[in-house]
């Protein structure tokens, strides 16, 4: 694949900025690894600017993490329109500015990863968002660009920005998406960009050359059965997944970033890792830990993948949530792989 000098420079910049600061205790290849945690919320995001956010950042740091992500929301409607909270670059909201500053105070980098809130819209998930009506489709792209550009302008100081998450029902409009990316580049000219494609649709994205890193929501099934898998099966599942990704990354001359990776406390976590139950069990919690450990070890050893963001921890309330990855019993497992070796 032929690459222009500009794209080569952009990729080098992205890989530099995606790297954590060097630590004298860190292994020699630590510069290439993104060890991130997504800090979520149960409201529209005010928690990210609350007094509970520093504790979530400290938990990430304590397990050896070097990145965090937050996911600002806009609400999508069936007519293609978006609604979102005011974003004034002259007076940026505290729920954006505070987490960026707090992360940097702790030596962490931060990814801004916008999500469309589809609840109550009639869409069952983000991947279903699409518009057959031309007027609704045009309205969506107009509103989306206005939102994403405004968000980028108030996120000065961020270390990376994701231009979209799981929106492959709309990415067939390649010209529009290249325009969205251009608008974000203009607002954040020195910040590496990615797009977060769903695990089974990343090959349908036609504009990977316009961003710096291939982003994938890494909910890959590791086994094809519903029995409790062995550790060998989990390892083999990741080797199969990574083999295909390695070839794809080489073909496009890009690195891969897992923009989300997580497992529910679910006995079916290895075969259906995207599925949340909110009914965690002892067996599900044990399998969650084993799946996480297998994933972390596989990614740490894979040069085509620059790292990952675990889904998810919370700033504040996490009642009823089965995905939290920084529960006390999981932290030692994560830290044993992520923390710098002395």
List the chain domain ranges: 5-338
Which residue from 146, 262, 239, 251 is spatially nearest to 202, judged by alpha carbons? 251
Cα–Cα distance list, 223 to 124, 229, 267 (Å) = 25, 7, 12
Contact 259, 307 (CB under 8 A): no
Which residues does 316 contact at the CB level (< 8 Å), separation at least 6? 41, 42, 47, 50, 52
The phi and psi torsions of 257 (rounded to 5 degrees) equal -125, 125
Whole-angstrom distance, CA of residue 60 vs CA of residue 39? 9
| Helix (H/G/I), strand (E/B), else coil: 151 | helix
**So what's the pLDDT on residue 6?**
37
Domain 5-338 is found in CATH 3.20.20.80: yes
The phi and psi torsions of 48 (rounded to 5 degrees) equal -65, -20
Contact 326, 334 (CB under 8 A): yes
* pTM summary value: 0.91
Which residue from 132, 116, 136 is spatially nearest to 124, judged by alpha carbons? 116
**So what's the pLDDT on residue 244?**
97
The phi and psi torsions of 74 (rounded to 5 degrees) equal -130, 145
10-residue averages of pLDDT along the chain (342 residues): 40 46 35 86 95 98 98 97 96 97 98 96 94 97 98 98 98 98 98 98 97 98 96 98 98 97 92 76 90 97 97 91 89 93 66
**So what's the pLDDT on residue 275?**
78
């Amino acid at each position: 694949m032929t690459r222009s000098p500009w794209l080569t420079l952009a990729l080098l910049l992205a890989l530099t900025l995606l790297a954590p600061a060097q630590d004298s205790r860190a292994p020699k290849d630590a510069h290439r690894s993104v060890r991130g945690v997504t800090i979520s919320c149960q409201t529209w995001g005010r928690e990210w600017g609350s007094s509970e956010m520093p504790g979530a950042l400290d938990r990430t740091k304590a397990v050896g993490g070097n990145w965090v992500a937050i996911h600002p929301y806009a609400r999508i409607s069936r007519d293609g329109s978006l609604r979102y909270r005011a974003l004034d670059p002259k007076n940026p909201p505290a729920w954006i500015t505070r987490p960026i500053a707090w992360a940097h105070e702790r030596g962490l980098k931060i990814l801004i990863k916008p999500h469309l809130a589809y609840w109550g819209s009639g869409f069952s998930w983000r991947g279903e968002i699409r518009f057959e009506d031309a007027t609704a489709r045009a309205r969506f792209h107009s509103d989306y660009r206005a939102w994403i550009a405004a968000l980028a302008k108030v996120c000065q100081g961020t270390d990376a920005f994701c231009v979209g998450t799981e929106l492959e029902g709309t990415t067939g409009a390649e010209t529009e998406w290249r325009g969205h990316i251009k608008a974000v580049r203009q607002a954040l000219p020195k910040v590496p960009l990615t797009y977060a494609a769903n695990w089974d649709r990343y090959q349908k994205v036609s504009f990977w050359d316009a961003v710096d890193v291939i982003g994938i929501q890494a909910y890959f099934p590791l086994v094809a059965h519903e029995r409790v898998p062995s550790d060998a099966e989990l390892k083999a599942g990741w080797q199969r997944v990574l083999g295909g990704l390695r070839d794809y990354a080489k073909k496009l001359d890009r690195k891969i970033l897992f923009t989300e990776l997580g497992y529910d406390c679910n006995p079916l976590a290895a075969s259906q890792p995207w599925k949340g139950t909110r009914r965690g069990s002892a067996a599900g919690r044990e399998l969650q830990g084993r799946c996480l450990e297998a994933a972390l070890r596989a990614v740490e050893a894979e040069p085509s993948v620059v790292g990952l963001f675990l889904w998810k921890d919370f700033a504040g309330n996490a009642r009823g949530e089965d995905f939290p990855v920084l529960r006390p019993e999981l932290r030692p497992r994560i830290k044993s792989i992520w923390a710098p070796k002395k």
